[in-house]
Structure 1
Amino acid sequence: MPNRPPQQMTIIISMYLGYAAMMICRQMVTILSPAMLADETLELTKTNVGDFAAYGTLGALVGKIIWGPLADKFGGRFTLLTGIFFTAIFIIAFGLSPNVIAFTSFSFLLYCSKSSGWPGMTKLIGEWYHPQHYGQVWSILATSSRLSVVLATLFFGWLMSFMHWRIVAFIAAIFALVIFVGCYFYLKETPAPPNFFKEDENNTENTELVNASKQALYNKYNHPLKGTGTFDGLVAFAKSPRVWLVVIMLMVLTCMMAFLDFVAVYLMESYQLTPSQAAMASTVFPVGSLAGLLASIAFYDRFSKRGIRTVLTIALILSLLSVLTLQYLPLFNFSVELNYPIALGAIFLFAFSISPAYYLPMSIFSIEYGGPHSATLVCLIDAFGFAASAAFAFIGGRLADSAGGWSSFMNMLILISAVGIISVWAFMHSEYKAEKQGIHLNQSK
């Protein structure tokens, strides 16, 4: 099967660019926020900006409920293509919006459309890649999210220095539509050969790896939920302690990732930056997240569940230390010239530490545990995460506008980060126990 690697490469490139297009459109709400706050004709406040993120997150939550079953029914290609098209349309509508109500409405619809990306890729990865490569594939695809945010924030932040923010929004939409056309022609739903993965079983002389490969494929094609309906899958998920542990973990981590929506405004107000400078400086968060994912490409599939538990727990401890640094940095009375790079370093480390835990365990778990209902499971877990993130955005915007300002905001983030350590350890410990007992795919009765 000499065409297998090139076919897989085409699929992963298509998914990479397609998800990047959706992430750029979604991130435009955050990128444009400083310029929108500075636009006196709009009369916006930080509370409004927090509400855009919050209602957008609620849109993502609704989208997860919609897109999961649709992806399981119609496939990953349809789901991903539909999402790319509508994110482009709704960022155009956002750029044309005249007031807070319109901004909020189209933010909701934009995030709702973008939420199709992860379930679409979940189905495509399950079809096109060997189970033992899920960690590596997800690590690569997750960098699409972070790299696109970095490049988009730098590029569109630079454009805002000499273009009106509405024009910048339209340019982002045009880029997404170009990617949509490319994905339409190159993205395929399933591989044709029935023995597409057979080559993976014989590519090593290591007997242990060969047996593990065969077992993984057996589990894939003989899943306990094979042939069941969506309702049966939901019942099985609801009865599973492992599902609830991953739900709790993702709720906490999604709140931590939502700090990105406030980074530009936080830096602008804390260090007297212009909106363009703040937008570009905020790329330190997605750069840190990207670096964390690049590191995970090298180790994730090579570590046991016990090893991953240890690494991710240490990473979450570092994320807590990063937030503590941001909160108590002013007490050291350093100069602004020194405080600013320290703050950027702390934000980088925060994002670096949480991104592997946020993207990988849940995504791999959803494919392996969800089987034929993998898209529904990944969306179910994400929906809880987005619900928590919406609450974070509502509360965070108001705390930043309160008398306590950013200090109150950071206190909330410190508490959430502490809970994150516990939740990540608990879920990964449950996965370690499942691996040790040999019940990876056993559903709770």
Structure 2
Amino acid sequence: MSNRPPQQLNILVSMYLGYAAMMICRQMVTILSPALLADESLGLTKTNLGDFAAYGTIGALVGKLIWGPLADKIGGRFTFLIGIFLTAVFVIAFGLSPNVMAFTGFSFLLYCTKSSGWPGLAKLVGEWYHPQHYGRAWSILSTSSRLSVVLATLFFGWLLSFMHWRTVAFIASVFSLVILVGCYFYLKEKPDNPNFFKENETNADNFELTIASKQAMNNKYNHPLQGTGTIDGLVAFAKSPRVLLVVIMLMVLTCMMAFLDFVAVYLMESYRLTPSQAAMASTVFPVGSLTGLLASIAFYDRFSKRGIRTVLTLSLILSLLSVLTLQYLPLFNLSAEINYLVALGAIFLFAFSISPAYYLPMSIFSIEFGGPHSATLVCLIDAFGFAASATFAFIGGRLADSSGGWSSFMNMLILISAVGIISVWAFMHSEYKAAKRLDI
């Protein structure tokens, strides 16, 4: 009897909890933002908070350039474990920071080390899961980041109501170090059995899926980039129109996801909430994102490339409608309570609609197209996304502080969301055409 499912379950749980630990550490900058703003001894402004997010995002960009090639050389397990340890350390350092410069520096380092998570996952997923199950594996793992953000924001937001924010940061770090110990013992680099994927490769009920499965396995073990160096891989990526399209798509979607960094402060100022209430209310964004990913578990591996193109394009149209709702909601002259509930619903739908497009296509494409350089490719794509997100954070914080306030901020988000529809359709259309040529 095959021991593949139990082994894969152990690996999945380890990756899930390990990435959750990294996300909790990364999210502490956002969770603590309302408390930092309310701490008069610090004298911070929304521009400062935007700068923390921006420099943190630049740190993530730098980290992607480091951790991608490194993960391809040292493996996913070691990369993953180092990342958990360092993010926990830098959360402690952030919590001990005395001034703006220290906050900014440790935000940079925290985001930089957290960048090790996704390339580590890319290598481990490629080793432990069948190509036809990449969508399901990535859907489940992506919920780790969203679920951890939801629970962490609620729990640590609650702690903020009666604990000092520095104590809350320390508790988050200790929690992550506990998870690190478990991952050290249960996470393995690759299966010991060379025939790990040989069983049950066919699907008697669907001939098309059986053919696609065989093609995917052939691509996995006979990849065009097998045996090539990092430079050769980068040259191949630079020549590919599909890589260009996925980079553009991720730049736009990462900016849209970066709205999360502003949600708590937006709700606090727009609806007169306390920092603790704002932190907890902001969980509506990760809850929406989590719900979108749970929905994608059911459909992603079962749809054709054409079907996925249609679904994701419609989802991005919904995200645009959600931002338009936030911008023009005051024109309907509803009560403050109704406005607040509608705003929460719009934020939920925004996150729900963009999360499958943000997490899944790029992750699957990086393993399939990148092959032995999958970690490098996933980090290269992410680096461009984070560069765009850093720009968004710099501009967003200043727009929120400007005379136009949150209205100016939302106008920028509306424009980005419109571009998101086009970029998602263009990349998924290129994937559809590539699948028709059997060039996966």
The interval holding the TM-score normalised by the smaller chain is over 0.9
State the 1:211 CA deviation: 3.0
Matched, 1:223 2:223: yes
**Post-superposition offset of 1:307:** 0.4
TM-superposed CA distance for 1:199, in Å, is 1.1
Q: Deviations over 1:75-98 (max 9, x none)?
A: 000010000000000000000000
User: Which residue of the partner structure matches residue 109 of structure 1?
Assistant: 109
Contact kept in structure 2, 1:130 and 1:200, CA below 8 Å: no
In structure 2, relative to structure 1, the CA distance for the partners of 1:241 and 1:272 (3 Å cut) is same
Q: What residue is the counterpart of 2:21 in the other structure? A: 21
- Alpha-carbon distance in structure 2 between the residues aligned to 1:203 and 1:413: 44
Q: CA deviation at 1:215?
A: 1.9
- The answer for the alignment partner of 1:94 in structure 2 is 94
CA distance in 1, matches of 2:396, 2:205: 54
Shift of 1:438: 1.7
Matched with 2:316 is 316
- Retained in 2: the 8 A contact 1:200–1:213? no
Superposition pairs of residues 106-185 of structure 1, within 5 angstroms: 106-185=106-185
CA distance in 2, matches of 1:82, 1:189: 14
The CA deviation string for residues 356-397 of structure 1, in whole angstroms up to 9 with x for no partner, is 000000000000000000000000000000000000000000
Give the number of aligned pairs: 440
| Displacement after TM superposition at 1:227 (Å) | 0.4
| Cα contact 2:202–2:213 (8 A) shared by 1 | no
Following the alignment from structure 2 to structure 1, what is the Cα–Cα distance between the partners of residues 71 and 370? 13
- Which runs of no fewer than 5 residues in structure 1 stay unpaired? 441-445
Q: What is the CA deviation profile of residues 381-425 of structure 1, one whole-angstrom value per residue up to 9, with x for unaligned ones? A: 000000000000000000000000000000000000000000000
> 3-state DSSP class of the match of 2:200?
helix
Q: Provide the C-alpha distance between the structure 2 equivalents of 1:347 and 1:113, rounded to a whole number of angstroms.
A: 29
Q: Which residue of 2 aligns with 1:262?
A: 262
SS at match of 1:163: coil
Is 1:4 aligned to residue 7 of structure 2?
A: no
Deviation, 1:331, is 1.0
Distance 1:247 1:399 in 2: 26
Look up the match of 1:304.
Answer: 304
Over the aligned positions, Cα root-mean-square deviation in angstroms equals: 0.8
Cα distance in 2, alignment partners of residues 21 and 355 from structure 1 = 20
- CA shift for structure 1 position 200: 3.0
User: Take 2:348 and 2:198, find their aligned partners in 1: how far apart are those partners?
Assistant: 41
The residue that corresponds to 1:81 in the other structure is: 81
Specify whether residues 159 and 213 from structure 1 end up closer, same or farther in structure 2 by C-alpha distance, changes over 3 A only. same
Distance in 2 (alpha carbons) for counterparts of 1:420 and 1:359 = 14
CA deviations over 1:159-216 (Å, ceiling 9, x no partner)? 0000000000000000000000000000000001111001131464644433332221
1:373 corresponds to 2:373: yes
Please name the residue that 1:414 is paired with: 414
Look up the match of 1:347.
347
Alpha-carbon distance in structure 1 between the residues aligned to 2:141 and 2:357: 15
1 CA distance for matches of 2:402 and 2:211? 59
Deviations 1:27-56 (A, max 9, x none): 000000000100000000000000000000
Q: Which residue of 2 aligns with 1:434?
A: 434
Corresponding letter in the other structure for 2:103? F
Corresponding residue of 1:328: 328
Aligned counterpart, 1:196? 196
What CA distance in whole angstroms lies between the structure 2 residues aligned with 1:265 and 1:26? 17
Deviations 1:312-365 (A, max 9, x none): 000000000000000000111111011000000000000000000000000000
CA distance in 1: counterparts of 2:11 and 2:52, whole angstroms: 33
The 5 Å alignment of 1:272-291 reads: 272-291=272-291
In the aligned structure 2, how far is the partner of 1:133 from the partner of 1:313?
22
Q: Which runs of 5+ in 2 are unaligned?
A: none
| Distance in 2 between residues matched to 1:198 and 1:8, nearest whole Å | 15
Distance in 1 between residues matched to 2:223 and 2:326, nearest whole Å: 46
TM-score norm. by structure 1 comes to: 0.98
Matches of 2:205 and 2:433 in 1, distance apart? Answer: 28
Q: Secondary structure at the match of 1:224?
A: coil
Report the secondary structure of 2:199's partner residue: helix
Distance 1:412 1:208, change over 3 A: closer
C-alpha separation between the residues in 2 aligned to 1:27 and 1:438? Answer: 40
Letter in 2 for 1:47: T
Kindly state the Cα deviation for residue 120 of structure 1 after the two structures are TM-superposed. 0.1
**Alpha-carbon distance in 1 for matches of 2:208, 2:52:** 51
Mapped partners of 1:340, 1:285: distance in 2: 14
Instruction: Tell me the CA shift for residue 2 of structure 1.
Output: 2.2
Show the counterpart of 2:45: 45
Determine the structure 2 residue equivalent to 1:405.
Answer: 405
Quickly say closer, same or farther: Cα 1:331–1:207, change in 2 above 3 A: closer
1:443 is matched with none
CA distance in 2, matches of 1:252, 1:92: 32
